[in-house]
Amino acid sequence: MVTTGTEAVEQRYAEVQAALLSRWPESKLEPSLDRMAALVDLLGSPQAAYPVIHVAGTNGKSSTARIVESVLRTFGLRTGLVTSPHLVDVRERILIDGEPISQGDFVEVYDDLAPYLAMVDATFPDTPLSYFEVLTAMAYAAFADAPVGVAVVETGMGGTWDATNVADGVVAVITPVDLDHTEYLGPDVETIAGEKAGIIKPGAAAVLAQQQVAAAEVLLHRCADVGASVLREGLEFGVRHRDIAVGGQLLALQTPSGVYDEVFLPLHGAHQAHNASLALAAVEVFFGADGRMLDVEVVREGFAGVASPGRMEIVRSSPTVMLDAAHNPHGAQALATALAEEFSFTSLVGVVGVLADKDAAGLLGALEPVLDKVVVTQAQTPRVMPVDDLAAIATEVFGDDRVLVAPTLLDAVDTAIAQVDDPDAVSGAVSGAGVVITGSVITAGQARLLLAGS
């Protein structure tokens, strides 16, 4: 049998993915920039070949980064975008001009880096380069080769020792800081904010979302220490007005330069409006607006083109099925608030699968007021919280009569849809029924694949 060029690329792409997955996973960390610094030094510092807008925080990083990238691209810049984790395909993490890097280019970049990866691994035999570190280096190298005019880079975890932090962002964006990954980032908001603050570099511009007081103090001290200029949501910029609209929301956004009105954002939730204000402030400071408003029509076009997969993403109708990657109580609360404010479901059933190291009780507690029932399940990952353990927690939050248990995600989705399709199962009504699938990025991503193939 003759192998075609496409088949050969696909086979090699699968081999590269397997090689990446054989490395330390993202859930296993050894906090240090030593390996990444050694690698990019061998590569000739590709991350220094273009300006970087760096985004850190606990929730909202991916959406904020995507909004920034869309607006910059609409202004005519060639863009690179790094986000994580991915929902379905690892190439989602490395975008050039809004499109995932091709399989062929992904393979080529990896093969170009492979000798240097081996050198760094040999230098650090006890802590070889991780999955995330290699992907970050691949992104930086791909952007330099493209070349891009600007890279928008979301951190993976933390900031100070995050693999992405070998780049020095000219703009550092900090989304809301809350408790998450406490085993690595620290036990309280102050310590976590200190880690996130590590992306704020000397002479950069820091764009800060509204924060808890403890986090705000840490971030502002960092800015003062390194001489970074500061823009703060609620003071220098913010959401002046928002109206719920079909398919999203219509915003008026205040920046230091003025008010951008009638900006349509095709994303749901007040939290996305705040992400939008953060993104626009970052774009303004990147362009050095200095009191001059950007072209409002171009800004509107950039916002209208935003997509953020897995963030209140509707993937099916009749009944409505929505995916959301909320994986901690703060994210679940934002989801619950948006569901209550922007949708009029006559019945809503949740499908929830959580990772073992997450605050399942807090997440379920945030969702409980907006869900009629919850189907607990487990995605296919070694990091998953076993379904029986999650069911015990869910029963404490929802009560016995509102919790259903499904051993697999496919069973859970089918069960939830059957619940809202049955007029006697929930609220006695079918019209306007919905299912929301959430609890982790992995849960949302695997559900996306299941629903796409069904």
Of the ranges 283-292, 346-355, 430-439, which one carries the lowest mean pLDDT score? 430-439
Q: Do both 235 and 331 map to the same domain?
A: no
Residues 158 and 248 in one domain: yes
**What is the pLDDT, as a whole number, of residue 429?**
43
What pTM did the predictor assign?
0.90
Length of the chain: 454
Residues 245 and 385 in one domain: no
Whether residue 26 has pLDDT greater than 80: no
**CATH code for position 32:** 3.40.1190.10
Q: What is the pLDDT of residue 24?
A: 87
- Rounded Cα distance between 265 and 249, Å, is 5
* 351 CB neighbour count, 10 Å cutoff: 29
**Bridge partner list, 241:** 252
Residue 405 has pLDDT above 60, yes or no: yes
- Pair 239, 321 in one domain: no
Do 265 and 375 lie in one domain? The reply is no
The pLDDT, as a whole number, for residue 428 is 45
Q: How large is the average pLDDT for residues 38-66?
A: 96
Q: Using 50, 70 and 90 to split pLDDT, how confident is the model at 381? A: confident
Q: Which amino acid is at 304?
A: A
Instruction: Answer with the one of 304, 323, 350 that is the final residue of a domain.
Output: 304
**What is the percent of the chain where pLDDT is above 70?**
94
Predicted confidence band at 411 (pLDDT cuts at 50, 70, 90)? very high
Which letter does DSSP use for residue 381 in this model? S
- Mean pLDDT, residues 337-357: 92
Mean pLDDT of 294-312: 94
Q: Is the pLDDT of residue 149 over 90?
A: yes
Residues 6+ apart with CB under 8 A from 67: 265, 275, 276, 279, 280, 302, 303, 306, 308
The residue from 259, 281, 304 where one domain ends is 304
Q: What is the residue range of 225's domain?
A: 5-304
Counting the structural domains of the chain, the total is: 2
The yes-or-no verdict on residue 415 having pLDDT over 50 is yes
The sign of the CA dihedral 267, 142, 174, 358 is: positive
**What percentage of the chain's residues is helix, strand, coil (to nearest 5)?**
45, 20, 35
One-letter amino acid at 19 equals A
Of 276, 304, 332, which closes a domain?
Answer: 304
pLDDT at 430 over 70: no
DSSP 84: -
Cα angle 424, 426, 429; round to 5: 70
